[in-house]
Amino acid sequence: MSLRPQNDPEHQSKSLHKTDDYWCTPLIRQLEKSDLPDRFKLTRRLRNCAQYRRYGLNSGKKPNYCHLRYLCKACADRYAKRVALEYATKILGLMIQFGLCPFFVTLSPRAENDLVQQLVQVERMLNKIRQKRKNHFSHGTQFTEFCRFLYAFVILEVKRTQDGQLWFPHVHFIALNPLADVRFNLSDLATEWRMVSESEIPPHVKSTTAGKLFRRCQRSDSISEDMKGKIFRDLQRIIQYALKPLPLCLSDQIVVHSAMRGTHRYREWAMPKSHGQFHSSKV
């Protein structure tokens, strides 16, 4: 941001056309054809963002990013980097403070053709699981495999199925599980997920490099600054992966932008009170 060229009007008007072509003209054309009530406002924001990123503003003015993270790749990347930095720091802190190991878990609901309806259903599924987990920790009700997620960073991703016919929103978790605990019972986890979602795709649970490195340090009871850096970078990589710009065609990008209004791309499932400090939850 520091190297902003002078706003030479002649230079700008000649190059702006190229800038728009490069950054967003096909999307703007598509948006103008759409029936979104605020399509002209959106196209203005996208143009201003492209112009700002290319040329900067006169000194004293504020950055002019569009923050349209389902439409603008540059803003999607900036968003992913910012969130990854914030939450990799937080997750590493929780791992060290409470001796927790991160797993990468993916829950896949059934693919359908109505994205708006599906996102409502995914929210319901997540709320059901979260409520059961909360009831267990607060009121001692039945244990579910999701109670092994002592803390979870939850990220929603929207894709098309491979044949491009159906929408496939799915949920990634970085789930923190106590080092001393048994890991997940995959068969119980699959049964619980099927009961909530009616999906035949079982949860996918993957160890993480961050977790493997952390276990190694715990055995030797020491964690160096260098090792913290390695774990931090792996957490950052995972979060950025889950928040990557969605690989969709232009018309699908517009559908997702519209459908995701009011839906959080990420949220946290906080640590329960019974396990030390209570961490605020952003839902």
* Binding-site ranges for Zn ion (CB under 5 A): 49, 65-66, 72, 75
Given the complex with Zn ion, which of 63 and 99 has the nearer CB atom? 63
Largest alpha-carbon pair distance within the chain? 70
Given the complex with Zn ion, which of 1 and 182 has the nearer CB atom? 1
Kindly calculate the radius of gyration of the chain based on its CA atoms and give it in whole angstroms. Answer: 22
Given the complex with Zn ion, which of 66 and 95 has the nearer CB atom? 66
184 with 144: CB under 8 angstroms? no
Q: Which of 199, 184, 124 has the alpha carbon at shortest distance from 149?
A: 184
Given the complex with Zn ion, which of 75 and 171 has the nearer CB atom? 75
Structure-token pair, residue 86:
């914030």
Q: Which of 191, 197, 148 has the alpha carbon at shortest distance from 171?
A: 197
Q: How far is the CB of 281 from Zn ion (least distance, A)?
A: 29
Q: How far is the CB of 89 from Zn ion (least distance, A)?
A: 25
Instruction: Give the position of tokens 């491009």.
Output: 164
Q: How far is the CB of 64 from Zn ion (least distance, A)?
A: 9
Given the complex with Zn ion, which of 36 and 166 has the nearer CB atom? 36
Q: Which of 234, 97, 260 has the alpha carbon at shortest distance from 174?
A: 234
Given the complex with Zn ion, which of 27 and 66 has the nearer CB atom? 66
How far apart CA 59 and CA 127 sit, in angstroms, is 46
Residues with Cβ within 8 Å of residue 159, at least 6 apart in sequence = 167, 168, 169, 170, 246, 247, 248
Given the complex with Zn ion, which of 16 and 96 has the nearer CB atom? 16
How far apart CA 250 and CA 26 sit, in angstroms, is 8
Q: How far is the CB of 80 from Zn ion (least distance, A)?
A: 13
How far apart CA 118 and CA 113 sit, in angstroms, is 8
Structure-token pair, residue 262:
């009011």
Q: How far is the CB of 71 from Zn ion (least distance, A)?
A: 8
Instruction: Give the position of tokens 């399509």.
Output: 39
How far apart CA 179 and CA 159 sit, in angstroms, is 33
Q: How far is the CB of 54 from Zn ion (least distance, A)?
A: 11
Q: How far is the CB of 68 from Zn ion (least distance, A)?
A: 6
